[in-house]
């Protein structure tokens, strides 16, 4: 069958099971767009900024586990994707990005809208390729999906010159994959698994540190089997939140910079840390030399390079978590750790950490707790980056697997709008709440238009503190209240703004209105937005300053806290 | 944990694709690894090139380098030859000032080092020398007094001694020193 490069792209997308792509057309990718009407099985969602295409695809992948696809034209289209790709790369999201490139003969000539897309995206993609002939298109797309979705997932970019999209060649979809340099290890080494089991059986004060890998590998049940059999408490990193039901008696919560004190303290006292798909990010460990000083470390991950990268490891195991845990569960002995759990419970009593505060003012903690209660911890929560993100992780009680979608590694503000859009597109039957910072929201709010246009029923809760709140908090704590360039004195009226986009919108300024506002937003059949005017001075605690250890934790605001808010 | 800084010889077999050198050098740069030399050329296998790196760092750093190399899709195999019996060589071209008065003295030195003169002009000579880095450095030092005008060094290339090859190790030694958790990669070729 003779096809154009553009038709081949579409044929391949269909064979890879793609039903939706996020993108914006432009000159270099137009041949592909002009071909898309021949393939109505693929729905194209026209975003308002390419960052939204990448982050939309990211949200789509995270919510569903199906590879997210985004498209952009050459030059500015491709550069606009970069933040979204970097975010997906840091958080291991399987994405395929297809970009148009200037025609082959124009490459390297500084042609109109030419950038070195593969060069620019090299460090923020798992792999990328420039396809120089139409007959290479099927193999490139097939490899892109394979590489993106296997091993440690990640974004893969395929850059296709315009004349390659137009070129006609015989279409041959590759039978298999021929990548001699890419063979992810799936099964754990049996000897290592036995060693790990021995350490687990002998440990007196073990903890599981569950990371994103548990979710990516869909190993919830296997992890649960492990900890229920061995009676080991579960601590979840930010991206591990919702890998384990937070209502479970063995659930401890999040450690690290803004985690609960007792989780970090448990790690500090532990004699064994079993890391499942976590990578010991500095937000978790703080000062490495003081991290888990008494513990041996079992590190299970599909990516060998994260093992030994940040902490010393006693038992490294490379493999797919689900398979490794199945093997490990056969080796471990049933056990109980009553005293150890008792000790952690004691720590929880002494260091409650999660203060709702009984202030009369409207706080974000209060709103998130209310949202958690009303949705019974079953909504998909998408967040931006900053204070509201930390409070969402702290105060929403996640009971459903894979229900927190947040930019952890890159920490990219603006994630909250497009990722929520993508998540809802992937899971239309689920309730999706986007918890937004007023700062992050304004970075990507243009995609409210996309959301309305495509009838994507996302609910937005803007935590409007009129500040770049987390930065304001750092200025307060580390820079002697030098509040500079963090206050918004001219925020738009978000209710009017949302209405202008065509959303149902409400404003809430008082605690008493919170529940009914959430309920009416949920009752509305379509996207809705609540502008919560919240206490601008509230700070996130506990806090372990960067590069410090649990010994330096600040559990409560210092009594000297000064008023930052001046009108 | 051993934290002695050392120079390590790594050899990688990589797919011969456009941009592969850029991927590798970019990875070294952005992860802050120090390479003191890099040499690359075709291998005995079709579509595969072989690279030799000399990496500065402790054992943990070199382990990271190896893993990060493996993480690149185009890298097929990485071997750390630091503790293996190997032969390692570098070649250099040295252009040195040599007039009719000094030429014979330069030629004597060249002889001692078993180097070759491959170009002669009234004012200068080009010397080709092969050996380990120390030999090349010493020759270069000796020639300095005559006036070294240009130096071009290829960087180290290295190979296991005996019948063992990188593609099919015939003795168990290299496998044994490969960290256990990525031995799985060893069964590729
Ligand atoms: C794209 C981007 N730019 C800058 C930052 C640095 N930064 C981290 S948190 C933060 C403040 C976020 O403000 P907002 O979205 O209003 O959330 P809040 O902290 O107030 O909850 C900033 C500017 C970032 N993380 N991402």
| SS3 assignment, position A232 | coil
User: Is the pLDDT reported for residue A10 higher than 90?
Assistant: yes
| The pLDDT of residue B4 | 58
Q: With contact defined as beta carbons under 8 Å apart, do A417 and A436 qualify?
A: yes
Q: What φ, ψ does residue A531 adopt, rounded to 5°? A: -95, 105
For residue A87, how many other CB atoms are within 10 A of its CB?
A: 27
Which of the listed residues A367, A386, A407, A473 should we mutate to test ligand 1's pocket, taking the one with most ligand atoms within 8 A of CB?
A386
Report phi then psi at A381, rounded to 5: -105, 125
Ligand 1 lined by A408 (C-beta under 6 Å): no
Write the pLDDT tens digit of every residue in A470-501: 999 999 999 999 999 999 999 999 999 999 99
Lowest mean pLDDT across A102-106, A266-270, A554-558, B121-125: A554-558
Q: Is the pLDDT score of B180 beyond 70?
A: no
Please state which of the ranges A242-256, A454-468, A501-515, B171-185 shows the lowest mean pLDDT.
Answer: B171-185
Distances (CA, A) of A529 to A133, A426, A524, B135, B174: 47, 20, 10, 73, 61
pLDDT at A557: 75
* Closest CA in chain B for residue A299: B181
Q: Among this protein's residues, is A552 annotated catalytic?
A: no
Q: Is A127 strand, coil or helix?
A: strand
pLDDT at A381 over 90: yes
d(CA A457, CA A31): 32
Specify the pairing of strand A296-301 against strand A315-318. Answer: parallel
Give the distance from residue A421's alpha carbon to the nearest chain B alpha carbon, in angstroms: 31
| Fold type of domain A190-350 | Rossmann fold (3.40.50)
> According to the model, what pLDDT value does residue A558 have?
60
Exposure of A243 in the CB half-sphere (CA atoms within 13 A):
35
Q: Where in chain A are all domains bearing CATH 3.40.50.970? A: 2-170, 364-533
> What is the atom index within ligand 1 of the atom nearest the CA of A412?
26
Which of helix, strand or coil describes residue A191?
Answer: helix
Out of A74-78, A101-105, B83-87, pick the least confident: B83-87
- Whether A65 has a pLDDT exceeding 60, the answer reads yes
**Residue range B31-82, pLDDT digits in tens:** 999 999 999 999 999 999 999 999 999 989 999 999 999 999 999 999 999 8
CB A208 within 8 A of CB A233: yes
Whether residues B15 and A307 touch (CB distance < 8 A) is answered with no
Task: Please say if the pLDDT value at position A349 is more than 80.
Answer: yes
In chain A, residues with a C-beta closer than 8 Å to the C-beta of B179 are 316
The rounded distance, in Å, linking the Cα atoms of A265 and A291 is 10
Termini Cα distance of chain A: 70
Which chain A residues are within 8 Å of B73, Cβ to Cβ?
126-127, 147, 179, 181-182
Rg (CA), chain A: 24
Residue B165 has pLDDT above 80, yes or no: yes
Q: Where are the beta strands (DSSP E) in A432-503?
A: 432-437, 458-464
Determine the residue of chain B that is closest to A144 in CA distance: B73
DSSP run (H or E) holding A234? strand A234-236
CA B106 to ligand 1 center in whole angstroms = 66
Cβ contact, residue pair B184, A130, below 8 Å: no
Do residues A155 and A94 lie in contact, with contact meaning Cβ atoms separated by under 8 Å? yes
Based on the number of CB atoms within 10 Å of its own CB, is B72 exposed (0-12), middle (13-18) or buried (19 or more)? buried
Mutate: best of B71, B78, B182, B189, partner A, most A CBs <10 A: B71
Q: Evaluate whether A73 touches A32 at the Cβ level (below 8 Å).
A: no
Q: Which atom of ligand 1 is nearest to the CA of A441?
A: 15
Cβ of B64 within 8 Å of Cβ of A305? The answer is yes
pLDDT in tens, A306-318: 999 999 999 999 9
The length of chain B is: 189
Catalytic annotation, pick one of A8, A55, A162, A364: A162
Residue A131 CB contacts under 8 Å (≥ 6 apart), including other chains:
A5, A137, A140, A158, A159, A160, A161, A164
Question: Quick check: A564 pLDDT over 80?
Answer: no
The predicted-structure confidence for A370-380, as pLDDT tens digits, reads as follows 999 999 999 99
Distance of alpha carbon B159 from alpha carbon A441, whole angstroms: 57
User: How many CB atoms are located within 10 Å of the residue B161 CB?
Assistant: 9
| Distance in Å, CA A421 to ligand 1 centroid | 20
Q: A384: Cβ below 6 Å to ligand 1? A: yes
Angle at A401 between CA A400 and CA A406, to 5 degrees: 100
pLDDT score at A560:
38
Active site residue A280: no
- Search chain A and give the residue with CA nearest B179: A316
Mind telling me how many Å the CA of A359 is from chain B's nearest CA? 47
How far, in Å, CA of A498 to CA of A449, rounded?
9
Options 3.20.20.10, 3.40.50.720, 3.30.70.1150, 3.40.50.10470; CATH of B88-157: 3.30.70.1150
Backbone angles phi, psi at A30, to 5 degrees: -55, -40
- Nearby residues of A190 by Cβ (< 8 Å), 6 or more positions away: A327
- How confident is residue A100, by pLDDT bands cut at 50, 70 and 90? very high
Q: Which of A47, A69, A61 is nearest to A453 (CA)?
A: A47
Yes or no, beta carbons of B19 and A130 under 8 Å apart: yes
State yes or no: pLDDT of A353 exceeds 80: yes
Question: With the C-alpha atoms ordered A281, A285, A286, A288, is the resulting torsion angle positive or negative?
Answer: negative
Fold of A364-533: Rossmann fold (3.40.50)
pLDDT at B76: 95
The reply to whether ligand 1 has any atom less than 6 angstroms from the CB of A412 is yes
pLDDT at B173: 36
| pLDDT > 80? residue A204 | yes
Catalytic position from the list A113, A186, A343, A361:
A113
CATH code, A2-170: 3.40.50.970
**Looking at residue A252, what DSSP letter applies?**
E
Per-residue CA distances from A275 to A210, A317, A389, A547 (Å): 6, 10, 23, 21
Residue of A nearest to B189 (CA): A180
pLDDT of residue B164: 87
Of the partner residues A147, A180, A189, the one whose CB lies closest to the CB of residue B76? A180
Q: Is A421 a catalytic residue?
A: no
Q: What is the pLDDT at residue B181?
A: 40
Q: Using the mean position of ligand 1's atoms as its centre, give its distance from the Cα of residue A385 in Å.
A: 5
Q: What is the mean pLDDT of chain A?
A: 96
- Label residue B171 by pLDDT band (50, 70, 90): very low
The span from the CA of A208 to the CA of A263, in Å, is 11
Please state the length of chain A: 567
Backbone angles phi, psi at A127, to 5 degrees: -165, 155
Which of A435, A441, A451, A281 has the alpha carbon at shortest distance from A372? Answer: A435
Q: Which segments of A110-181 does DSSP mark as H helices, in order?
A: 117-121, 137-149, 162-166
| CA of residue A470 to ligand 1 center, whole Å | 6
pLDDT value at A565 more than 50: no
Domain B6-83: assigned CATH number: 3.30.70.260
Cβ neighbours of residue A461 under 8 Å, at least 6 residues apart? A367, A371, A433, A434, A435, A436, A518, A529, A530, A532
The pLDDT score that the predictor gives to residue B169 is 52
Q: How many CB atoms lie within 10 A of CB A266?
A: 28
Instruction: Give the 3-state secondary structure of residue A36.
Output: helix
Look at residue A3 and tell me whether its pLDDT is greater than 60: yes
Compute the distance between CA of residue A527 and CA of residue A428 in angstroms, rounded to an integer.
12
Question: Which residue in A16, A50, A143, A246 is the catalytic one?
Answer: A50
Segment A410-418 shows an average pLDDT of: 98
Choosing from A291, A470, A473, A537, which is the catalytic residue?
A470
On average, the pLDDT of chain B sits at: 87
B63/A181 Cβ within 8 A: no
With a cut of 60, say whether residue A125 has pLDDT above it: yes
Q: How far apart are CA A146 and CA A174, in angstroms?
A: 12
On the question of pLDDT at B187 being above 70, the answer is: no
Task: Read off φ and ψ for residue A169, nearest 5 degrees.
Answer: -155, 170
User: What's the mean pLDDT in A399-409?
Assistant: 98
Share of chain B above pLDDT 90, in %: 79
Beta pairing class for B75-80 and B86-97: unpaired
pLDDT of B168 reads 61
**Quick check: A308 and B189 CB within 8 A?**
no
Q: Which atom of ligand 1 is least distant from the CA of A386?
A: 19
Strand partners, B96: B125, B148
The DSSP line for chain B is -----EEEEEEEEEE--TTHHHHHHHHHHHTT-EEEEEEEEE-SSTTEEEEEEEEEE-HHHHHHHHHHHHHSTTEEEEEE-TTS-EEEEEEEEEEEE--TTTHHHHHHHHHHTT-EEEEE-SSEEEEEEEE-HHHHHHHHHHHHTT-EEEEEE---EEEESSS--SSS--SSHHHHHS-GGGGGGGG--
Choosing from A38, A43, A112, A478, the catalytic residue is A112
Of A2, A25, A30, residue with least CA distance to A161: A30
Dihedral over Cα of A54, A60, A62, A65: its sign: negative
CATH 3.30.70.1150 domain span(s) along chain B: 88-157
| pLDDT tops 80 at residue B188 | no
């Amino acid at each position: 069958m003779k096809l154009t490069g553009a038709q081949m792209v579409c044929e391949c997308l269909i064979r890879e099971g793609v039903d939706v792509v996020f993108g914006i057309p432009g000159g270099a990718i137009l041949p592909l767009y002009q071909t898309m009407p021949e393939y109505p099985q693929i729905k194209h969602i026209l975003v308002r900024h390419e960052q939204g295409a990448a982050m939309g695809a990211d949200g789509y992948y995270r919510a569903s586990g199906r590879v997210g696809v985004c498209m952009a034209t050459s030059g500015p289209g491709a550069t606009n994707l970069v933040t979204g790709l970097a975010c997906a790369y840091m958080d291991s999201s399987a994405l395929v990005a297809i970009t148009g490139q200037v025609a082959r003969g124009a490459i390297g000539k500084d042609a109109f809208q030419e950038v070195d897309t593969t060069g620019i995206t090299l460090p923020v993609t798992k792999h990328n390729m420039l396809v120089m002939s139409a007959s290479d298109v099927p193999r490139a797309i097939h490899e892109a999906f394979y590489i993106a979705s296997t091993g440690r997932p990640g974004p893969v970019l395929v850059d296709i010159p315009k004349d390659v999209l137009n070129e006609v060649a015989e279409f041959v979809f590759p039978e298999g994959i021929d990548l001699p340099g890419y063979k992810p290890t799936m099964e754990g080494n049996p000897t290592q698994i036995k060693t790990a089991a021995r350490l687990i059986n002998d440990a007196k004060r073990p903890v599981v540190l569950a990371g994103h890998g548990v979710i990516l590998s869909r190993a919830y049940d296997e992890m649960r089997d492990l900890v229920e059999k061995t009676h080991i408490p579960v601590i979840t990193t930010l991206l591990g939140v919702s890998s384990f039901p937070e209502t479970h008696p063995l659930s401890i919560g999040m450690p690290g910079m803004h985690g609960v004190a007792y989780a970090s303290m448990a790690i500090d006292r532990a004699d064994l840390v079993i890391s499942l798909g976590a990578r010991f990010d500095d937000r978790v460990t703080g000062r490495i030399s003081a991290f888990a000083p008494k513990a041996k470390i079992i590190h299970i991950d599909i990516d060998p390079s994260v093992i030994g990268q940040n902490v010393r490891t006693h038992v490294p195991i490379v493999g797919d978590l689900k398979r490794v845990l199945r093997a490990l569960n056969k080796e471990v002995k049933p056990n109980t750790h009553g005293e150890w759990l008792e000790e952690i419970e004691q720590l929880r009593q002494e260091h409650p950490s999660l203060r709702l505060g009984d202030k009369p003012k409207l706080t974000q903690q209060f709103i998130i707790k209310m949202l958690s209660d009303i949705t019974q911890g079953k909504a998909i929560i998408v967040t931006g980056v900053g204070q509201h993100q930390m409070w969402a992780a702290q105060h929403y009680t996640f009971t459903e697997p894979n229900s927190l979608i947040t930019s952890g590694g890159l920490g990219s503000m603006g994630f909250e709008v497009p990722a929520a859009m993508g998540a809802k597109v992937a899971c239309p039957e689920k309730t999706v709440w986007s918890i937004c910072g007023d700062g992050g929201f304004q970075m990507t709010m243009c995609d409210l238009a996309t959301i309305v246009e495509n009838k994507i029923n996302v609910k937005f809760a803007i935590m409007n503190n009129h500040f770049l709140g987390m930065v304001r908090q750092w200025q307060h704590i580390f820079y002697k209240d030098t509040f500079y360039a963090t206050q918004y004195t001219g925020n738009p009226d978000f209710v009017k703004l949302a209405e202008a986009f065509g959303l149902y919108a409400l404003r809430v300024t008082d605690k008493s209105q919170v529940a009914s506002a959430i309920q009416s937003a949920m009752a509305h059949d379509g996207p809705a937005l609540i502008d919560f005017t919240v206490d601008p001075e509230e700070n996130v605690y506990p806090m372990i300053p960067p590069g410090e250890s649990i010994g330096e934790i600040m559990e409560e605001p210092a009594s000297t806290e000064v008023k930052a808010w001046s009108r | 944990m051993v934290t002695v800084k050392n120079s390590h010889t790594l050899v990688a077999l990589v797919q011969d694709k456009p941009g592969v050198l850029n991927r590798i050098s970019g990875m070294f740069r952005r992860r802050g690894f120090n390479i003191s030399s890099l040499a690359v050329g075709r291998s005995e296998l079709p579509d595969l090139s072989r690279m030799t790196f000399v990496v500065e760092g402790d054992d943990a750093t070199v382990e990271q380098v190896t893993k990060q190399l493996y993480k690149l899709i185009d890298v097929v195999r990485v071997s750390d030859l630091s503790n293996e019996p190997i032969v390692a060589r570098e070649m250099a071209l040295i252009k040195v000032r040599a007039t009719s008065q000094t030429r014979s003295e330069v030629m004597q030195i060249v002889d001692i080092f078993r180097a070759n003169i491959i170009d002669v002009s009234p004012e200068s000579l080009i010397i080709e020398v092969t050996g380990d880095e120390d030999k090349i450095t010493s020759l270069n030092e000796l020639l300095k007094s005559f006036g070294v005008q240009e130096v071009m060094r290829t960087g180290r290339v290295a190979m296991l001694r005996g019948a063992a090859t990188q593609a099919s190790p015939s003795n168990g030694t290299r496998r044994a020193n490969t960290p256990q958790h990525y031995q799985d990669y060893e069964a590729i070729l």
